[in-house]
Amino acid sequence: MASTEAEKMWAELAPYYDVLYQWKDYRSEAARIHQLIQSHRLSSGNALLDVACGTGEHTRYLREHYRVTGIDLNPEMLKIARRKVPGVSFLRRDMTFFDLKRRFDAIVCLFSSIAYVRTYRKLRQTVACFGRHLKPGGILVIEPFFTTGTFRPGSINGGTMEREGVRISRHSVSRRRGNLAVLDFHFLLSTKLGVRYFRDIHELALFDSERFLDILEDEGLRPEFDSHGLMQDRGLYLALKQRA
C-alpha cells in the first residue's frame, strides 16, 4: 500500500486504535520503563521525550514521573493524545529527523516503532537525531521489532476486540523480504454505521542486534541490550549518553 493510502486509512482508523490494542498493558510497561530509566540514567532532570507516541497511552502513565513531550507523524493520533493527556505538548514530527531545540533526560521509542525506519542508513540517522536531543547522562530506550533470527515468516495471527459499540477484527499473515518483515493486515470494523473493510501492508525492519548496538555506540552512546523487554522476543536497547 502506498504511503499516502496508508496515511489516509490510519487517519480513519485512529479513533479505534485504542480498541484494537486494549489488550496491551501500557501501565505496567510504563512502570518498567520508569524503573529502567531510574536505574540507568545519570542526569538529574525529569524531561522525557516519547517518540512515536501514537494516542498517548504510554505518555499518560509516564507523565506521573516526568515532564513529557510526545512526537508522532500521524495528526489524527496526536489529536486523540491531546484530548487524552491534557497539559502535555504533542508535536507532529518525523522521528528520523527533527529539531526540538532542547534536550531530554530520557528518550523512549516503544512498541517497535523504530522498525518503520526500515534501513540501516535511516536507523543511523534516527539514532543520531535522538543523541542530539539527549542531555549528557541521559538515557535512550528503544523497543525493537524481531531480528532475522527471531522473526517467524508465515505466522498467522488474528483476533476480535470490542468496546462500547465498536468491534474490530484483525487478521494477518507474515512473510520476509530481505531484512524486512512484511505483514499483510486485514481489518473488519463494525459500528452502528455499518461494516467497513481495510487492508494495510506493514514493512518493518529486522535489524541485527549486534549491528544495532554498533550504531548506538558509533553515535557516542554506551549501549546494552535487555533481553527481557516488554514483549516476547523483542527486548530493549538501553543507551547512555556519556558525560563529557
CB 167 within 8 A of CB 161: yes
- Can you tell me whether residue 165 is helix, strand or coil? coil
Dihedral of the alpha carbons of 90, 145, 40, 22, in degrees to the nearest 10:
50
Alpha-carbon distance 92 to 120, whole Å?
23
Instruction: State yes or no: pLDDT of 3 exceeds 70.
Output: no
CB 5 within 8 A of CB 202: no
CA distances from 126 to 8, 23, 86, 230 (A): 25, 29, 28, 22
Domain chopping of the chain, boundaries: 17-147+207-241
Specify the CATH architecture of the domain 17-147+207-241. Answer: 3-Layer(aba) Sandwich (3.40)
Element of type H or E holding 93: none
Give residue 180's pLDDT.
98
Report the relative pairing of strands 89-92 and 221-226 from DSSP bridges.
unpaired
By C-alpha distance, which of 230, 237, 182 is closest to 21? 230
pLDDT tens for 72-108 read: 999 999 999 999 999 999 999 999 999 999 999 999 9
Q: Give the pLDDT band of residue 239 (cuts 50, 70, 90).
A: very high
Q: In this predicted model, what pLDDT tens digit does every residue of 9-48 receive, in sequence order?
A: 888 899 999 999 999 999 999 999 999 999 999 999 999 9
Name beta bridge partners: 68: 48
Q: Which three cell numbers stand for residue 151?
A: 522473526
Question: Could you tell me the CA-to-CA distances from 80 to 14, 21, 90, 176, 187 in Å, in that order?
Answer: 8, 15, 10, 33, 21
Task: In whole angstroms, give the CA distance from residue 212 to residue 178.
Answer: 17
Residues 6 or more apart from 148 whose CB is under 8 A from it? Answer: 176, 179, 206, 208
Say if strands 89-92 and 104-109 run parallel, antiparallel, or are unpaired: unpaired
Cα-Cα-Cα-Cα dihedral of 206, 208, 213, 215, to 10°? -70
Region for 142 from its dihedrals, namely left if φ exceeds 0, alpha if ψ lies in -120 to 50, beta otherwise: beta
| Residue 99 main-chain phi, psi, to 5 deg | -140, 100
Q: What's the predicted TM-score (pTM) here? A: 0.96
103-156, pLDDT tens digit by residue?
999 999 999 999 999 999 999 999 999 999 999 999 999 999 999 999 999 999
Cβ atoms 109, 59 nearer than 8 A? no
